[in-house]
Amino acid sequence: MSIGQIHGGDDDLLQIMYDGKKRDVGYAWPVDGEGKWQSDLLIANYSPGSRWFTYRIEAGKGTVRIFIDEGQGFEEKVVKRNVSEAGCYFKAGAYTQSSVIKQPGTARPDDYGEALFTSIVTETERG
C-alpha cells in the first residue's frame, strides 16, 4: 500500500510503501523508461499502531531525499540525483495499488487500506 507519492508527468516519480505481509516500509522509484523500479527498505518490522514514524521527502535542484524519524530524529535514508521531471505533485494517503481493472485476477473488490496521519506539512522554496 502506498502511503506517499510524488507523481510525475506520466507516472509516479516516487512511492513510499507499506508491505503488510512483510511488515516493512520501503520506497520505490523508476530507474528507466522501461518499467524497471529500484526499491529498498526504509523501516523493518513495522507493525501499524505499535509505534509512530515520520517520513520527510525533500525534492529540488535535481535531487530527491527521503528521511525517516522513528523517534530518534531524522535520518537520511536515500538520495536520488539527476532527477528531472516537470509537473510533479505530492499525495499522501492509503493507496492499495489494487485495481480489479488494472490487475485482473490478483486484485479483489474488497481490498482496502488505511493510513493515519497526525499532520501533513508541505513547504515550497522558490528561487
Query: Looking at the domain assignment, is residue 71 inside a domain?
Result: yes
CA–CA separation, 19 and 2 (whole Å):
9
Query: Looking at the domain assignment, is residue 119 inside a domain?
Result: no
Query: Looking at the domain assignment, is residue 101 inside a domain?
Result: no
Q: What is the pLDDT along the chain (127 residues), one digit of tens a residue?
A: 889 999 877 778 899 999 888 999 999 998 876 778 889 999 999 988 888 999 999 988 889 999 999 999 999 999 999 888 888 888 888 877 766 666 677 777 677 778 888 888 888 776 5
Structural domain count of the chain: 1
CA–CA separation, 51 and 127 (whole Å):
37
Q: What is the pLDDT of residue 113?
A: 78
Domain that holds residue 67: 2-95
**pTM of the full predicted structure?**
0.82
Query: Looking at the domain assignment, is residue 60 inside a domain?
Result: yes
Query: Looking at the domain assignment, is residue 10 inside a domain?
Result: yes
Q: Which residue has the cell 510503501?
A: 17
CB 15 within 8 A of CB 55: no
Query: Looking at the domain assignment, is residue 108 inside a domain?
Result: no
